[in-house]
Homo-oligomer: A and B are copies of this chain.
Protein backbone atom coordinates (compact mmCIF):
# COMPACT_ATOMS: atom_id res chain seq x y z
CA UNK A 1 0.00 0.00 0.00
CA UNK A 2 3.00 2.25 0.28
CA UNK A 3 6.18 3.00 -1.61
CA UNK A 4 6.34 -0.25 -3.49
CA UNK A 5 2.81 -0.21 -4.82
CA UNK A 6 3.29 3.45 -5.58
CA UNK A 7 6.33 3.10 -7.80
CA UNK A 8 4.80 0.00 -9.32
CA UNK A 9 1.88 2.15 -10.41
CA UNK A 10 4.28 4.76 -11.77
CA UNK A 11 6.16 2.10 -13.68
CA UNK A 12 2.95 0.70 -15.15
CA UNK A 13 1.79 4.15 -16.18
CA UNK A 14 4.96 4.72 -18.18
CA UNK A 15 4.88 1.16 -19.45
CA UNK A 16 1.36 1.69 -20.73
CA UNK A 17 2.37 4.81 -22.62
CA UNK A 18 5.44 3.10 -24.06
CA UNK A 19 3.58 -0.04 -25.07
CA UNK A 20 0.91 2.00 -26.82
CA UNK A 21 3.63 3.38 -29.07
CA UNK A 22 5.92 0.40 -29.53
CA UNK A 23 3.68 -2.51 -28.71
CA UNK A 24 3.80 -4.90 -25.78
CA UNK A 25 6.70 -6.74 -27.39
CA UNK A 26 8.54 -3.56 -28.27
CA UNK A 27 8.22 -2.46 -24.67
CA UNK A 28 11.62 -3.21 -23.18
CA UNK A 29 12.76 -3.25 -19.57
CA UNK A 30 15.78 -1.08 -20.30
CA UNK A 31 13.94 1.79 -21.96
CA UNK A 32 11.17 1.51 -19.39
CA UNK A 33 13.71 1.82 -16.59
CA UNK A 34 15.36 4.91 -18.04
CA UNK A 35 11.91 6.36 -18.67
CA UNK A 36 10.97 6.20 -15.00
CA UNK A 37 14.50 7.04 -13.85
CA UNK A 38 15.37 3.71 -12.32
CA UNK A 39 17.72 0.85 -13.04
CA UNK A 40 16.67 -2.23 -14.94
CA UNK A 41 16.85 -4.42 -11.86
CA UNK A 42 14.87 -1.90 -9.86
CA UNK A 43 12.07 -2.05 -12.34
CA UNK A 44 12.30 -5.77 -12.88
CA UNK A 45 12.00 -6.49 -9.16
CA UNK A 46 8.34 -5.45 -9.33
CA UNK A 47 7.47 -8.23 -11.75
CA UNK A 48 8.28 -11.89 -12.05
CA UNK A 49 8.99 -11.79 -15.76
CA UNK A 50 8.46 -9.68 -18.82
CA UNK A 51 5.36 -11.68 -19.59
CA UNK A 52 3.96 -10.77 -16.17
CA UNK A 53 4.79 -7.14 -16.89
CA UNK A 54 2.89 -7.31 -20.15
CA UNK A 55 -0.12 -8.79 -18.42
CA UNK A 56 0.07 -6.08 -15.77
CA UNK A 57 0.21 -3.43 -18.50
CA UNK A 58 -2.93 -4.87 -20.08
CA UNK A 59 -4.67 -4.83 -16.72
CA UNK A 60 -3.64 -1.22 -16.22
CA UNK A 61 -5.01 -0.37 -19.65
CA UNK A 62 -8.25 -2.12 -18.77
CA UNK A 63 -8.53 -0.10 -15.55
CA UNK A 64 -8.08 3.13 -17.42
CA UNK A 65 -10.51 2.04 -20.11
CA UNK A 66 -13.11 1.31 -17.46
CA UNK A 67 -12.47 4.69 -15.88
CA UNK A 68 -12.61 6.69 -19.10
CA UNK A 69 -15.17 4.79 -21.14
CA UNK A 70 -17.17 2.20 -19.26
CA UNK A 71 -17.90 4.13 -16.05
CA UNK A 72 -19.09 7.31 -17.80
CA UNK A 73 -21.19 5.14 -20.05
CA UNK A 74 -22.86 3.46 -17.10
CA UNK A 75 -23.68 6.87 -15.66
CA UNK A 76 -25.72 7.67 -18.76
CA UNK A 77 -29.36 6.52 -18.88
CA UNK A 78 -29.96 3.00 -20.10
CA UNK A 79 -30.77 2.47 -23.75
CA UNK A 80 -29.85 4.76 -26.59
CA UNK A 81 -28.25 7.53 -24.48
CA UNK A 82 -25.87 5.01 -22.95
CA UNK A 83 -25.04 3.61 -26.36
CA UNK A 84 -24.18 7.09 -27.62
CA UNK A 85 -22.12 7.91 -24.56
CA UNK A 86 -20.12 4.69 -24.85
CA UNK A 87 -19.49 5.28 -28.53
CA UNK A 88 -18.22 8.82 -28.09
CA UNK A 89 -16.01 7.86 -25.16
CA UNK A 90 -14.70 4.88 -27.08
CA UNK A 91 -13.77 7.06 -30.02
CA UNK A 92 -12.06 9.56 -27.71
CA UNK A 93 -10.19 6.69 -26.03
CA UNK A 94 -8.24 6.08 -29.23
CA UNK A 95 -6.98 9.65 -29.39
CA UNK A 96 -3.27 10.21 -28.92
CA UNK A 97 -4.03 12.65 -26.15
CA UNK A 98 -5.04 9.86 -23.77
CA UNK A 99 -2.31 7.45 -24.85
CA UNK A 100 0.41 8.52 -27.26
CA UNK A 101 0.15 5.41 -29.39
CA UNK A 102 -3.62 5.08 -29.59
CA UNK A 103 -5.67 2.16 -28.32
CA UNK A 104 -3.31 -0.39 -26.73
CA UNK A 105 -5.80 -3.22 -27.13
CA UNK A 106 -5.91 -2.90 -30.89
CA UNK A 107 -2.12 -2.86 -31.02
CA UNK A 108 -1.89 -5.86 -28.72
CA UNK A 109 -4.54 -7.69 -30.72
CA UNK A 110 -2.38 -7.68 -33.84
CA UNK A 111 0.67 -8.71 -31.88
CA UNK A 112 -0.82 -11.60 -29.94
CA UNK A 113 -3.74 -12.87 -31.98
CA UNK A 114 -1.69 -15.91 -32.94
CA UNK A 115 0.70 -16.22 -30.03
CA UNK A 116 -0.71 -18.38 -27.24
CA UNK A 117 0.12 -17.51 -23.67
CA UNK A 118 -1.03 -15.56 -20.67
CA UNK A 119 -0.74 -12.22 -22.47
CA UNK A 120 -3.09 -13.32 -25.18
CA UNK A 121 -5.43 -14.90 -22.65
CA UNK A 122 -5.63 -11.65 -20.69
CA UNK A 123 -6.23 -9.61 -23.80
CA UNK A 124 -8.94 -11.96 -25.04
CA UNK A 125 -10.65 -11.90 -21.65
CA UNK A 126 -10.73 -8.10 -21.62
CA UNK A 127 -12.00 -7.86 -25.17
CA UNK A 128 -14.67 -10.46 -24.53
CA UNK A 129 -15.80 -8.46 -21.51
CA UNK A 130 -16.03 -5.34 -23.61
CA UNK A 131 -17.91 -7.04 -26.43
CA UNK A 132 -20.23 -8.54 -23.84
CA UNK A 133 -20.89 -5.16 -22.34
CA UNK A 134 -21.61 -3.68 -25.76
CA UNK A 135 -24.03 -6.48 -26.51
CA UNK A 136 -25.80 -6.20 -23.18
CA UNK A 137 -26.07 -2.46 -23.65
CA UNK A 138 -27.76 -3.09 -26.96
CA UNK A 139 -30.02 -5.61 -25.29
CA UNK A 140 -30.92 -2.94 -22.74
CA UNK A 141 -31.79 -0.60 -25.57
CA UNK A 142 -34.07 -3.28 -26.96
CA UNK A 143 -35.71 -3.65 -23.55
CA UNK A 144 -36.15 0.10 -23.32
CA UNK A 145 -37.87 0.09 -26.68
CA UNK A 146 -35.15 2.20 -28.28
CA UNK A 147 -33.95 -0.63 -30.49
CA UNK A 148 -36.20 -2.96 -32.44
CA UNK A 149 -37.06 -6.24 -30.79
CA UNK A 150 -35.51 -8.54 -33.38
CA UNK A 151 -32.08 -6.93 -33.18
CA UNK A 152 -29.22 -9.36 -32.51
CA UNK A 153 -27.08 -7.62 -29.87
CA UNK A 154 -23.89 -9.50 -30.73
CA UNK A 155 -24.12 -8.80 -34.42
CA UNK A 156 -24.75 -5.18 -33.55
CA UNK A 157 -21.70 -5.17 -31.26
CA UNK A 158 -19.48 -6.54 -34.01
CA UNK A 159 -20.72 -3.86 -36.39
CA UNK A 160 -20.05 -1.10 -33.89
CA UNK A 161 -16.61 -2.54 -33.31
CA UNK A 162 -15.98 -2.24 -37.02
CA UNK A 163 -16.96 1.41 -37.07
CA UNK A 164 -14.47 2.21 -34.34
CA UNK A 165 -11.69 0.02 -35.72
CA UNK A 166 -12.04 1.63 -39.12
CA UNK A 167 -11.96 5.04 -37.51
CA UNK A 168 -8.71 4.25 -35.72
CA UNK A 169 -7.24 2.90 -38.94
CA UNK A 170 -8.22 5.83 -41.11
CA UNK A 171 -7.49 8.55 -38.58
CA UNK A 172 -4.18 7.30 -37.20
CA UNK A 173 -2.53 5.42 -40.03
CA UNK A 174 -4.00 7.17 -43.05
CA UNK A 175 -4.33 10.54 -41.31
CA UNK A 176 -7.67 11.25 -42.93
CA UNK A 177 -9.15 14.34 -41.30
CA UNK A 178 -12.77 13.45 -41.97
CA UNK A 179 -12.48 9.92 -40.60
CA UNK A 180 -14.26 11.06 -37.44
CA UNK A 181 -17.17 12.57 -39.34
CA UNK A 182 -17.47 9.42 -41.46
CA UNK A 183 -17.37 7.21 -38.38
CA UNK A 184 -20.22 9.22 -36.86
CA UNK A 185 -22.14 8.89 -40.10
CA UNK A 186 -21.69 5.14 -39.95
CA UNK A 187 -22.72 5.16 -36.30
CA UNK A 188 -25.90 7.06 -37.06
CA UNK A 189 -26.69 4.61 -39.83
CA UNK A 190 -26.22 1.84 -37.31
CA UNK A 191 -28.55 3.60 -34.87
CA UNK A 192 -31.37 4.27 -37.30
CA UNK A 193 -31.15 0.70 -38.54
CA UNK A 194 -31.23 -0.63 -34.98
CA UNK A 195 -34.15 1.60 -34.07
CA UNK A 196 -36.19 -0.08 -36.77
CA UNK A 197 -37.28 3.16 -38.41
CA UNK A 198 -37.31 2.85 -42.18
CA UNK A 199 -34.46 4.69 -43.85
CA UNK A 200 -35.48 7.79 -45.77
Contact = CB atoms under 8 A, between A and B. Distances in A.
Interface of A: 21-23, 25-26, 96, 100-102, 106-107, 109-115, 123-124, 127-128, 131, 154-155, 158-159, 161-167, 169-170, 172-175, 179, 182-183, 185-186, 189, 193, 198-199
B170 A161 contact: yes
A100 B114 contact: yes
A174 B131 contact: yes
A174 B110 contact: no
A115 B26 CA distance: 12
5 contacts: A101-B114, A109-B169, A159-B186, A161-B170, A198-B199
Given A25-B26, A127-B174, A128-B174, A186 B155 contact: yes
A62 to B, nearest CB: 15
A96 B115 CA distance: 13
A57 to B, nearest CB: 15
Contact of A96 (B114, B155, B170): B114
A161 B164 CA distance: 11
A155 B167 CA distance: 11
Which has the most chain B C-beta neighbours within 10 Å: A100, A113, A165, A189? A113
Contact of A162 (B23, B110, B165): B165
B110 A106 contact: yes
B159 A124 contact: no
6 A-B pairs with the lowest CB-CB distances in the bound complex, closest first: A162-B162, A162-B166, A165-B165, A110-B110, A113-B173, A107-B110
Contacts of A186: 155, 158-159, 162
Contacts of A198: 198-199
Given A165-B165, A182-B155, A199-B193, A23 B21 contact: no
A21 B113 CA distance: 9
Contacts of A172: 113-114
Given A110-B110, A199-B198, A199-B199, A169 B173 contact: no
